[in-house]
A and B are shown apart, each in its own frame.
Chain A
Amino acid sequence: MKYYIAYLGLGILFGITLIKSEVASWFRIYEMFQFDSFHMYGVIGSAVVLGIIATFLLKKQKDVKGQSITIKNKPKGFKNYLIGGIIFGLGWALGGACPGPIYALLGSGLLSIVILFLGALLGAFTYGVIKNKLPH
């Protein structure tokens, strides 16, 4: 149970950060793809640099339950990552939101974000149905 409070707390912190740092704003995504500002690159870049250090250090440690930390490698592949990535990028720039910020933006109470979220569910569902027919 105490772990669930931790997940909830981390989610709240992440959600507030996505909104207050404006990375959940359509305008910031547009600006990023126009290369007009360092903001988004700074957020993602500093998260990755610190993330590399954190991940490296954690691999030698145990998790809270005393088990060794193992981080699964991503399955090998090329086409699925590139094609899926491009499709995702088209949607990310058009809607200005990726699957994390969508939940934070739902907090704004805007109906259009509900539709955006339903679209994302529909997309995930459609992929699940036709994935065996797609190149991977």
Chain B
Amino acid sequence: MELIYTPWAWYVAGPIIAFVLFMMIKLGKSFGMSSNLNTICSMAGAGKISNAFKIDWKANLWSLTLIFGVFLGGIIAFYFLQVEAPQISSQSVEKLQTIGFESVNKSFLPEELFSTDALFSLKGFVIILLAGFLVGFGARYAGGCTSGHAISGLSNLQLPSLIAVIGFFIGGLIMVHIIMPLIF
């Protein structure tokens, strides 16, 4: 049981994710998460505003079931499987403390960004909303996210997915090394 309660190593998580990819292909479906954002927009009636959302969302019920499972998996992990604060590398701890992230190694997500107090400040709210916006906008623009491109696409040796993943890294490196030191 201890194996379930302690943090899972990369060589446990990677093969499980590959297994999920394998099963989804075997089930005749694809493995991707971000297309659900479009489906949910369609369900909410976005088709009245833009033709891009005039799709039959019921055809994506299988994918909505998958993400509902991911949500349930999150609940199970957080409430029953003892989620602890990630213990990250000492170099990253130092860098984060320098820009004021004192909750590093003490919390699963940084309190400085995700606590209710942080959310109810103007800066905190804008950062969270903007981060979500960039993720949603960028994933749909690129036609996929970490699961659709980095896992499914690279596994199928797709050049577009490699270009997208290089883009993910350019964006991530700019954010962490240039923008974050300016805003925190």
Contact = CB atoms under 8 A, between A and B. Distances in A.
B137 A126 contact: yes
Given A11-B68, A63-B27, A16 B76 contact: yes
Q: Size class of A's contact patch?
A: 35 or more
A128 B53 contact: yes
Counting chain B CB atoms within 10 Å of each CB, the highest count among A7, A121, A126 belongs to A7
Counting chain A CB atoms within 10 Å of each CB, the highest count among B68, B73, B169, B176 belongs to B73
Nearest to A46: B14
Counting chain A CB atoms within 10 Å of each CB, the highest count among B49, B67, B158 belongs to B67
A117 B132 contact: yes
Q: Size class of B's contact patch?
A: 35 or more
A85 B15 contact: no
A68 to B, nearest CB: 10
Contacts of B12: 21
Given A13-B73, A15-B70, A30-B92, A128 B50 contact: yes
Interface string B1-39: 000100111111111111111111111111001101110
Given A8-B69, A50-B18, 9 more contacts: A13-B73, A15-B74, A28-B86, A46-B15, A102-B135, A107-B77, A107-B79, A110-B114, A123-B134
Nearest to B150: A44
B24 A111 contact: no
B145 A99 contact: yes
A108 to B, nearest CB: 5
Nearest to A54: B22
A42 to B, nearest CB: 3
A30 B61 CA distance: 33
22 contacts: A10-B24, A13-B20, A13-B73, A16-B74, A16-B77, A21-B13, A22-B108, A28-B88, A30-B176, A38-B10, A47-B151, A48-B18, A54-B21, A54-B155, A74-B159, A85-B171, A86-B138, A94-B179, A107-B72, A118-B132, A122-B132, A124-B137
B12 to A, nearest CB: 7
B133 A108 contact: no
Contact of A26 (B13, B70, B109, B172): B109
Given A43-B17, A89-B169, A34 B23 contact: no
B85 to A, nearest CB: 8
